[in-house]
Structure 1
Amino acid sequence: MTTTDRPDRVTDDRPIPVIIDCDTGIDDALALLLAVRHPRLDLRAVTCVAGNTDVDGVVRNTLTVLEHAGAPGVPVARGAERPLIEAVRTARHVHGQDGMGDLGLPAPTRTPVDLDAVSLLRREILASPRPVTLIPTAPATNIALLLRTHPEVTRNIERIVFMGGAVATGNATPVAEFNVWHDPEAAAILLTAGVPITMYGLDVFQRVVVPGADVRRLRASADPGTRLAGDLLAHRGPATDEADPGGGLGDAGAVCAVVDPAGLTTRRLPVEVSLAPGPARGQTLVDRRTRPGESELHTGPREQPLVDVGLDVDVARYVAVFLGAVEG
């Protein structure tokens, strides 16, 4: 990860403790497979929130993916079943009725832990011997509730790397990305967490595509987790070539940004979420200006969170990170 004003951290070869907050979801499943299998990561817990499908479906899908990945012991908790203010608005038209491409996967053999998501997040963050990196790949409802209920957790959070937002074009609306649009108030709270934040938004999210030949190889694997990755990518799209379709890595790119931050080019910029009703609700307003505008000159500067915003990505590098882990 490169930034305009933040020096690179000293390399530490110990696995990075991470917690994923997700709405599994095809590409959330890819993120989970990568997090489980990459040796640089220590996946301490997974928390679930409504988004791509309802929260009970998210829990089921998450447990299923972890079993396929060979990590059934990772604690999983059920979280918020709706946004802070809005109603639930799922993306089953993208992810299938079951949220997992309607692949007909077997039901998981275990159940979530007997804790709600916020309680599990607090427990695992404070119990970690090293600061935790949070990777929200979903609407930020659970994270917002955690930060408001237990603000003391920020002392043991290294960074939040979230999949959400867009500098340019949205997908839920012309200007708003789905995760932020689904719960704008929660996203606004996340941005004011008081810890370093990286925004892995649509501008880089949509660019990382696994080539068709690699997808076919994954689908032919005898390993359940590797084969699942291929099946999910085949459903995911977009096509790199009509005759040889590839699969978008999606949320797994945010995990790549934790594993290999140098593959993501960022700038530290002011970011805020549009909360007013109307067509701009849920937009992430990213200020890329090099000098103050008339608004600031007339009324003075406003306090805005500074975020390391992903602006460019080394596609081949992140594809290699993913394939090396899920096939390893």
Structure 2
Amino acid sequence: MVKKLLLLDVDCGVDDAQAMMMAFAAPNVHILGITCTHGNTNIENVCKNVLRVLKVCQKTEIPVYRGAGSSLLGNQLNAHHYHGEDGLGNVPDSDAPGLEHVKAEYAVNALIRITNEYAGQVSLVATGPMTNVALAFKMDPTFPSKLKYLYIMGGNMEGRGNVTICSEFNFAADPEAAYIVLNHFECPMYIATWEYCQRYVLPWEFFKEWVNQGTGKACFMKKITAHTVKFVKNMKVNTDESFEAGFLSCDSFAMAAAIDESVVTEYIHYGVSVELQGSVTRGMMIVDTLNQLGKQNQAFIMTKCDVEKFKQLMMSALK
């Protein structure tokens, strides 16, 4: 079997961990490296979290690279309320690998080097703010043309936000980086938006079955998700009924598409960009249904999912 070659760019919180574990379990995938970016938690925690997940999955041979610690403009956004202060549910492991296991090479340089080594063969899966990805383009404008595919978890297609009125977390954490990627990458782009993920929230009954499989991976997942589950089930105000309806693993939707393209059963195909100036719309993804931007490279925006296939990939991740 010819394996799919993947690079993962993550801000490792709980759902990044889930997406990574899904990729590790897929027999048709070979992961060339994992680059870390700011986002759900600070960059040191992200690196530590990736190393923890690799240890649990016995995949410590996969190289890990430290990347951007803030947005292109030097800002930081976090999701401690949802993922915990450390990004993995505030359940530390005294035997977790230390930062000395992170490679000395900077993540952006690693992205460029590995993509050059496997030009036209590598798919990049970006599940956090796209600062590293944008910096790779700024350092080497040929970088996007050497990628086979780019899979993104982020943005929105109906103007519904989850951290501001109109913007999704990953794009809000670095709107300029998202703008650079959406406007300058000519490789095929596949986007799992916030609304797409919401549409396929999984029942809590599935979640219970998923984390109670009795394996080491399942026990780890049950432990790191406890904070998030408690937060979601205690949400009284506002908010988003999709959270209360069930279990949401946003980053896993982008990863599932990269692993098995048949998981996504329908796309819309439009030019996309990001609003940078609006007082309430900064970070919102723009879907150009009228083709007024005249963009040649249009993104594939996921709209329909084969939920049973997605569940199977989720289950396999913890076996």
Relative to the length of structure 2, the TM-score reads 0.87
Out of 182, 197, 218, the position equivalent to 1:226 is: 218
| Cα offset, 1:233, TM superposition | 4.7
Instruction: Write the mapping of 1:120-269 to structure 2, written as runs, cut at 5 A.
Output: 120-128=110-118, 131-168=121-158, 169-191=160-182, 192-237=184-229, 246-264=246-264, 265-269=266-270
Relative to the length of structure 1, the TM-score reads 0.85
2:66–2:106 contact (8 Å) kept in structure 1: yes
| Cα offset, 1:302, TM superposition | 4.4
Matched, 1:309 2:301: yes
Equivalent in the alignment of 1:8 = none
| Cα offset, 1:225, TM superposition | 2.0
Structure 1 residues 155 and 273, CA, compared in 2 at 3 Å: closer, same or farther? closer
Instruction: Write the mapping of 1:47-86 to structure 2, written as runs, cut at 5 A.
Output: 47-86=35-74
2:22–2:252 contact (8 Å) kept in structure 1: yes
SS at structure 1 position matched to 2:85: coil
1:121-161 Cα offsets, whole Å, 9 max, x none, are 12222223761000000000000000110223334310100
| Cα offset, 1:210, TM superposition | 4.0
2:145–2:185 contact (8 Å) kept in structure 1: no
Structure 2 CA distance, aligned partners of 1:116 and 1:161? 22
Structure 2 CA distance, aligned partners of 1:245 and 1:279? 27
Q: How many residues align?
A: 303
Structure 1 unaligned residues grouped into runs of 5+: 1-12
Structure 1 residues 76 and 95, CA, compared in 2 at 3 Å: closer, same or farther? same
SS at structure 1 position matched to 2:44: helix
SS at structure 2 position matched to 1:151: coil
Which portions of structure 1, spanning 4 or more consecutive aligned residues, are displaced by more than 6 angstroms? none
Structure 1 CA distance, aligned partners of 2:96 and 2:105? 18
Structure 2 CA distance, aligned partners of 1:68 and 1:129? 31
Matched, 1:274 2:275: yes
| Cα offset, 1:107, TM superposition | 5.0
Structure 2 CA distance, aligned partners of 1:54 and 1:107? 20
Structure 2 CA distance, aligned partners of 1:21 and 1:320? 23
Structure 2 CA distance, aligned partners of 1:30 and 1:71? 14
1:44–1:75 contact (8 Å) kept in structure 2: yes
| Cα offset, 1:87, TM superposition | 1.2
RMSD: 2.3
Matched, 1:322 2:310: no
Letter matched to residue 287 of structure 1: D
Structure 1 residues 156 and 288, CA, compared in 2 at 3 Å: closer, same or farther? same
What percent identity do the matched residue pairs reach?
28
| Cα offset, 1:228, TM superposition | 2.1
Structure 2 CA distance, aligned partners of 1:28 and 1:144? 19
| Cα offset, 1:180, TM superposition | 0.5
Structure 1 CA distance, aligned partners of 2:48 and 2:139? 26
Structure 1 CA distance, aligned partners of 2:79 and 2:127? 14
| Cα offset, 1:304, TM superposition | 6.8
